[in-house]
Amino acid sequence: MALLQISEPGKSLAPHQRRIAVGIDLGTTNSLVAIVRDALPKVLPDEQGRELLPSVIRYLPDGRTQAGFEALDSVVIDPKNTIVSVKRFMGRGLVDVEHLENAPYDFVDEPGMLKLRTVAGDKSPIEVSAEILARLRQLAEDSVSDEIVGAVITVPAYFDDAQRQATKDAAKLAGIAVLRLLNEPTAAAIAYGLDNGSEGVYAVYDLGGGTFDISILRMSRGVFEVLSTGGDTALGGDDFDHRLYCWVIEQAKLPPLSIQDHRALLQCCKNAKEHLSHSPLARVHQTLSDGTVVNVGISQAQFFEMTQTLVAKTLVSCRKALRDAGLKAEDVKGVVMVGGSTRMPNVQRAVGELFGTQPLNNLNPDQVVALGAAMQADLLAGNQSKDDEWLLLDVIPLSLGIETMGGLVEKIIPRNTPIPVARAQDFTTFKDGQTALAITVVQGERELVQDCRSLGKFELRGIPPMAAGAARIRVTFQVDADGLLSVSAMEQGSGVQASINIKPSYGLTDAEITRMLQDGFASAKEDLLSRSLREEQVNAQRLLDAVQTALNSDRGLLSEQEQAAVDQEMATLERILKEETDSAVLRKAVDHAAKATDEFAQKRMNASIQKALAGKNVAEI
Partner 1 sequence: MVVANLSASDNYFQFFGLNQQFKIDLSALDQAYLAIQKEVHPDRHARGSDMDQRLAMQMATFANTALQTLKNPIQRGLYLCGLHGVDAKLETNTAMPAAFLMQQMEWRESLDDYANDLAALEVLMTEVEQSKQIILSEIAQAIDVDSSYEKAAELLRGLLFIDKFAAELDDAISALV
Give residues in contact with partner 1 (CB under 8 A). Answer: 19, 149, 179-180, 223, 319, 323, 376, 379-382, 389, 391-393, 417-422, 478, 480-481, 542-543, 545-547, 549-550, 594, 597-599, 601-602, 604-606, 608-609, 611-613, 616-619, 621
Residue 183 or 341: the one with the smaller Cβ distance to partner 1 is 183
In the complex, least distance from residue 328 CB atom to partner 1, rounded to whole angstroms: 10
**Residue 599 C-beta: closest distance to partner 1, Å:** 8
Rounded CA gap, 340 and 323, in Å? 26
Looking at beta carbons only, is 227 or 276 nearer to partner 1?
A: 227
CA distances from 357 to 165, 336, 339, 616 (A): 37, 11, 19, 39
- What are the start-end ranges of the H helices in 506-620? 510-519, 522-525, 528-554, 560-579, 583-613
User: Measured from the CB of residue 13, what is the shortest distance to partner 1 in angstroms?
Assistant: 13
- The residue among 71 and 573 lying less far from partner 1, judged by its C-beta, is 573
> How many of the other CB atoms lie within 10 Å of CB of 119?
13
φ/ψ of 26, rounded to 5, equals -90, 90
Rounded Cα gap, residues 122 and 89, in angstroms = 14
* Helix/strand/coil percent split, the chain, to 5: 40, 25, 30
Min dist CB 181 to partner 1, Å, is 12
Min separation Cβ 138 and partner 1, Å: 24
Minimum distance of partner 1 from residue 596's CB (angstroms): 10
Nearest to 376 by CA among 363, 362, 394, 360: 394
Long-range contacts of 536-540 (CB under 8 A, 24+ apart): 536/583, 536/586, 536/587, 536/590, 537/577, 537/586, 538/177, 539/587, 539/590, 540/573, 540/576, 540/577, 540/586, 540/589, 540/590, 540/593
Cis peptide before 420 (omega within 30 of 0): yes
Report the catalytic residues.
25, 87, 184, 206
Neighbouring-strand partners of residue 485:
479
> Which residues have a Cβ under 8 Å from the Cβ of 3 and sit 6 or more positions away?
none
In the three-class reduction of DSSP (H, G, I as helix; E, B as strand; rest coil), residue 260 is classed as helix
Kindly tell me which of 331 and 545 has the beta carbon lying closer to partner 1.
545
Query: Is 380:180 a contact under the CB 8 Å cutoff?
Result: yes
- Angle, CA 96 vertex, CA 90 and CA 99 arms, to 5°: 95
CB of 399 to partner 1, least distance (A): 15
Q: How far is the CB of 19 from partner 1 (least distance, A)?
A: 7
- Buried b / exposed e along 571-607 (16+ C-beta atoms within 10 A): eebbebbeebeebeebbebbeebbebbeebeeeeeee
Structural contact between residues 53 and 47, judged by C-beta atoms closer than 8 angstroms = no
Q: CB atoms < 10 A from the CB of 173, how many?
A: 24
Q: Judged by CB, which is closer to partner 1: 73, or 599?
A: 599
Strands (E), 324-472: 334-338, 391-393, 400-404, 408-413, 421-427, 437-443, 453-461
How far is CA 447 from each of CA 228, 317, 408, 458, 478, rounded to the nearest angstrom? 21, 19, 6, 20, 22
C-alpha 317/C-alpha 307 separation (Å) is: 16
Q: Which is nearer to partner 1, 188 or 379 (CB)?
A: 379
3-state secondary structure of 503: strand
Closest among 128, 108, 104, 126 to 55, alpha carbons compared: 128
Q: For strand 334-338 and strand 200-207, is the pairing parallel, antiparallel, or unpaired?
A: parallel
Which helix H or strand E contains 296, and what residues bound it? Answer: strand 293-299
In the complex, minimum distance from the CB of residue 144 to partner 1, in angstroms, rounded to a whole number: 18
CB of 99 to partner 1, least distance (A): 29
469 and 437 Cβ atoms separated by less than 8 Å: no
Element holding 204 (H helix, E strand): strand 200-207
